[in-house]
Amino acid sequence: MRAKPVTLTPLTQQWIDAFSDHLWWEEGLSANTRASYRHDLTSFAQWLESRREQLPTVTATTLLTYLAEKPRKAASQRRLIACWRKFFGWLVREGKMAHNPCLSLTQPPLPPRLPKTLTEKEVENLLLAPDPETLLGLRDKAILELLYATGLRVSELVTLHLAQLRLQEGWLIVMGKGNKERLVPFGELAGEWLTRYLREGRPKLCKPHTTDALFLTQKGEAMTRQRCWQLIKHYASVAGIDPRKISPHTLRHAFATHLLNHGADLRAVQLLLGHADISTTQIYTHVAHARLEALYHRNHPRA
């Protein structure tokens, strides 16, 4: 029988609520990140209360004990420690604690994880999968072409509005993570499919209640992240692509890797992807190097 969760004291709940508001108003973190932090803090606070301890008395030893009793993968542990650092740092600044107990904690190293990506031939097959002679096929063709042309996150694509599109200039005004705005160019081919979709497709999808979202469903509503991800999976299957290579970021990864394979500057790719830290972008150089090495060993007569 599962134990009932421990009820938090009103003060602890108040602190977690206030911290969540701080993450929203002052740091601009996404709803998903705020929800993850709230879940981590609530679970930790319940564990503390079950030991008859309170947040102001937490020490580094307490944190290490929690990590030992509640083992988790390296990525989850890194997120938890990052959450603690923000939370206890905020409590110190608010005068609710004297010091931050997790300053001495070190982050566990992450195992190297290369992003799943596609070959240029696979991308070509994927882009050919929709039937642009149908209404939804035309929309989906424009979506896939734009994703590959820009490296947008799926969440960024589905929140695009008409006002963010500069069709003549070949630019998008994209609102990325942390509400950071960036300009992203797209090529002529993506522009041609966007033009055709806006001329022949979107007007037929519009309904009286339709918003100014760029990509619409059959009901005239804005495309959701989940629906866009389903479309990518569907067309990957049509194109005969290994499902293990497919993720919501499939075309984003392919965009970055193919640019680097063709000699693009790493800093330029960082700006296009909207990465705050170039170390996030550098993972794609490993993909490019791995592909070159495989190509060498497969084709060189003395490899």
User: Can you say whether residue 207 is alpha, beta or left, with left for phi > 0 and alpha for psi between -120 and 50 degrees?
Assistant: beta
Q: Could you give the angle at which helices 278-299 and 266-273 cross, rounded to 10 degrees? A: 120
Task: Collapse the DSSP code of 184 into the 3-class scheme (helix H, G, I; strand E, B; otherwise coil) and give the result.
Answer: strand
**Structure token pair of residue 194:** 């966007």
**Structure token pair of residue 125:** 């097959």
Among the listed residues 70, 93, 92, the one whose alpha carbon sits nearest the alpha carbon of residue 81 = 70
User: What contacts 24+ positions apart, CB below 8 Å, involve 57-65?
Assistant: 58/88, 58/101, 59/101, 60/101, 60/102, 60/104, 60/105, 62/101, 63/101, 63/102, 63/105, 64/105
* CA 88/CA 73 separation, integer angstroms: 22
Give the residue numbers annotated as catalytic, written as ranges.
Answer: 153, 177, 249, 252, 275, 284
In single-letter form, the type of residue at position 95 comes to: G
* CA 60/CA 229 separation, integer angstroms: 41
The sheet carrying 171-175 orders its strands as: 165-166, 171-175, 181-185
